[in-house]
Structure 1
Amino acid sequence: MTRHLLREHCFKILFGLDFYPEEEAEIQTDNYFESPSLEDEDDVLIHDANYSDGDIEYIRSKAMLVCDNQAEIDKMITELSQGWKLERIGRVEKSILRLAIAEMKYDSDIPVSVAINEAVELAKAYGRDESYSFVNAILSKAGVEE
């Protein structure tokens, strides 16, 4: 699986976790991997449950990296979003920002520019019309502060 697809699965897990209490993070992550593949009404694959052990390990470790540092990441998002309370930021955008900031701050294997670009692409695919510009603006500020 490509890094882009791995990141997309991680985003989906993080988005789902936002609906559950923190203490259920590992259980909900396990549930994600146990879910069957799913197609929409046009037979387009929308959830591919064919993971290798390496894919599962990568996705799980990235999701747990975000969860383990979420308080600090959320504080950064609040500071960078100037005037936007965290609760006002949509769950899609918040999940994308959390993932990208975790990559930028805690994963030295991912260049800042790649983390920002991938986050913008996720925002274009899953967010509202202007989500990508909001995500780009926040992450560009975070990249400057690194």
Structure 2
Amino acid sequence: MKRRELREHIFELLFRIEFNSAEEMPEQMRLFFEGLGEVEPKDQEYIEKKYAHIVEKLPEIDRTLDETAEGWKVSRMGKTDLTILRLAVYEMEYDEDVPVGVAVNEAVELSKKFGGDESPIFVNGILGKIGKTGKTE
């Protein structure tokens, strides 16, 4: 799988945590991969590891989002936009393999595909502020 496709699958898996408890997620993960059909073991491992790393960092990621998104708290954000932002902030701040510009661009592309009409502007605006704070350099 290409990176963009892997990222999209990570987004889809992360989105499920908004609707399922932590205890339900192993079963949700099993169902997710079952629904994908044939997946290379290395791709599944990549998706599972990155998902786990993001979930582990969620408190820090959400704190960053709360501090950056003026007038918006994580609890008020649309679930799609929030999930895209969480993935992007993780990539910007914790994934050395993903350049900041790529993380922002890919997040905007995800928001165009899965979000509402205003999602790309919202996502780009928040990530632009995070990128300017120097946290990601």
Residue 129 of structure 1 aligns to a residue in which SS?
coil
Residue type of the alignment partner of 1:85: K
- Structure 1 unpaired stretches of 5+: 36-47
Tell me what 1:140 maps to: 128
Distance 2:92 2:27 in 1: 26
Distance 2:37 2:122 in 1: 31
Alignment partner of 1:79 is 2:79: no
Tell me what 2:76 maps to: 88
Cα pair 1:119 1:135 within 8 Å, conserved: yes
Tell me what 2:25 maps to: 25
List, as ranges, runs of 4+ consecutive aligned residues in structure 1 with deviation greater than 6 Å.
Answer: none
Q: Post-superposition shift, 1:104?
A: 0.8
TM-score (norm 2): 0.92
- Structure 2 unpaired stretches of 5+: none
Q: Post-superposition shift, 1:22?
A: 2.6
Residue type of the alignment partner of 1:17: I
Distance 1:25 1:108 in 2: 26
Distance 2:71 2:78 in 1: 14
Tell me what 2:34 maps to: 34
Give the root-mean-square deviation of aligned CA atoms. Answer: 1.2
Distance 1:23 1:79 in 2: 29
Tell me what 1:112 maps to: 100
Q: Name the count of aligned residue pairs.
A: 134
Tell me what 1:7 maps to: 7
Correspondent of 1:101 among 89, 94, 114: 89
Higher helix residue share: 2
TM-score (norm 1): 0.87
Correspondent of 1:50 among 38, 42, 62: 38
Percent of aligned positions that are identical: 46
Distance 2:50 2:127 in 1: 18
